[in-house]
Structure 1
Amino acid sequence: MQYIHQFSLFIHIIVGSCTLLLFWAPVLAKKGAKVHNLSGKAYVYGMQLVAFTGILCCALVLIDPVAIYQGAYEQAENQTEFIQNARGRASFLLMLSFLVLTSVVYGTRVLRDKASRQSLRRPDMLCNYVALLCSALYVAYLGYQSAQVLYSVFSVIGMLVAIKMMRYTFAPVVQPRQWVIEHLSAMIGSGIGVYTAFSAVGGRYLLVEILGEQAILMAWLAPSVVGTLALVVAKRKYQQRYRVAGKGKPAAQAEAL
């Protein structure tokens, strides 16, 4: 199990590092252009691999943290607490992996289906919603139990994202070209997830020397704050540009996305 975990983690880190850079290609490229489409597909495939390897790594830790972290476990002063903390972190990271996977799959299907929403109602997509929502609820419980601010904050984000996606999926009627905003929100949301993981794992060590332990909290929250502000600005831009919700321009212009 330890070797499977290490190999999966290696793939997770390598592919995740590449998607950090690849994220900006479809964001900055002209919407509908060849560069946007090709880089977007590569980003989606990369993010799916990152999410699946993350889920596998977390699942292995939840099953047997002692086997995965054998050396650290043997050196721990309180081995019971070590196991509890390892499983808590794995549950939290598992929720983030579900958040990334659900966001990128949702964003892809919204773009493909547009107003029909057919593939959003398939059993595999419904499983993504349920996995994200259930994992977020469990992390909320862990946050309450251990007074972990990070767990509490991100569990709320996970629940809100899952509920928002399900509302769009099952809404009797959706506004014209609302899929434009749904696609944009989901893809930026997946980017927030991967940058959150990067800043928390690597970025915090760059800040800790300057800001101390406060850097840990800042490293987790900074991508979400910056990404949310960017999402608000981008949504306003495309709502005005493509007249999302049918306030003017014909749908043909929205299809240019």
Structure 2
Amino acid sequence: MGDYTFLHQLNIVVHIITGTTALLMGLVALLSKKGGRVHKRSGLVFLVLITLVIATALMGVFAFGANEFLIALTMLSGYQAFSGYRVLKSKSNKPKPLDILVAFLTLSSGLYFLYYLDAIGMIWSPVIIYSTVGALFIMIAYDFLRYLIKAERYRNIWLYEHIYKMIAAFTALLAAFIGTVLPQYHPYSQFLPSIFGTLLAIGSILYFRRKRTLTKNRP
């Protein structure tokens, strides 16, 4: 690891281990029966590990001067995971102080990142950087606009929102992992995992929507 200090090397090792394990736990959650014991436990472990991934990434940026683009990736994956978990817990769109605070902090961090982008430099492809930050802003905008949806209507939406956000968090982490491990295939190793995740989320939403409809119409 070059001339990195021991603490920097330790931070990198912890980041890699927690990130890889988070991907495995996310995969278990995706493949297990939804709402079941394995799904719930693996999903919770996934959230804990993503928190550690974010903490080590931010530590790398602010304490050791690592690639600042990690901020954008960790903000996107972390916010999606947080918001997806909160949707599952509340199952409503009633405004809550914690959700609003985290959204504003994440939005401010994203704006800060864009403001200092020239100084940071285009370490990754500009298309990847702007699309990542753009996806984050769209997610935050939706989270504010959902408060305008009528409560009775939102009761039919929250499940699909949870599905999309958790899959998006998983694939953002996957894109960061593959993009880092396979830099020779940029930008394809960066955006193909995101395309896969988007298709997976859409397919999952359509599947559960159809399942819900069949259950309601069952005599």
TM-score (norm 1): 0.71
Q: Give, in whole Å, the separation in 2 of the partners of 1:32 and 1:42.
A: 15
CA shift at 1:172, angstroms?
4.8
Q: Give, in whole Å, the separation in 2 of the partners of 1:54 and 1:237.
A: 35
1:130 maps to 104
Q: Deviations over 1:43-69 (max 9, x none)?
A: 1111111122212222224xxx3xxxx
CA shift at 1:135, angstroms?
3.4
1:43 maps to 46
CA shift at 1:30, angstroms?
1.1
Q: Is the 8 A contact 1:150 1:220 kept in 2?
A: yes
Q: Give, in whole Å, the separation in 2 of the partners of 1:55 and 1:24.
A: 24
Question: Which protein shows a greater Rg?
Answer: 1
CA shift at 1:130, angstroms?
2.2
1:77 maps to none
Aligned AA (1:134): S
Tell me the number of residue pairs that the alignment of Structure 1 and Structure 2 aligns. Answer: 208
Alignment of 1:55-74 (within 5 A): 55-61=58-64, 65=65
CA shift at 1:127, angstroms?
3.3
Residue 249 (structure 1) aligned with residue 216 (structure 2): yes
Q: Give, in whole Å, the separation in 2 of the partners of 1:159 and 1:221.
A: 18
2:22 maps to 19
Instruction: Give % identity.
Output: 24
Q: 1:115 to 1:4 in 2, by over 3 A?
A: same
Q: Give, in whole Å, the separation in 1 of the partners of 2:17 and 2:215.
A: 45
Alignment of 1:159-178 (within 5 A): 159-168=137-146, 170-174=147-151, 175=153, 176-178=155-157
Residue 8 (structure 1) aligned with residue 11 (structure 2): yes
Aligned AA (2:216): K
Q: Is the 8 A contact 1:139 1:152 kept in 2?
A: no
**Contiguous gaps of at least 5 residues in structure 2:** none
Aligned AA (2:204): A
Q: Give, in whole Å, the separation in 1 of the partners of 2:199 and 2:164.
A: 12
Residue 186 (structure 1) aligned with residue 165 (structure 2): yes
CA shift at 1:3, angstroms?
4.3
Q: 1:54 to 1:117 in 2, by over 3 A?
A: farther
Q: Give, in whole Å, the separation in 2 of the partners of 1:29 and 1:149.
A: 34
With CA pairs under 8 Å and 6+ residues apart, which has the higher RCO, 1 or 2?
Answer: 2
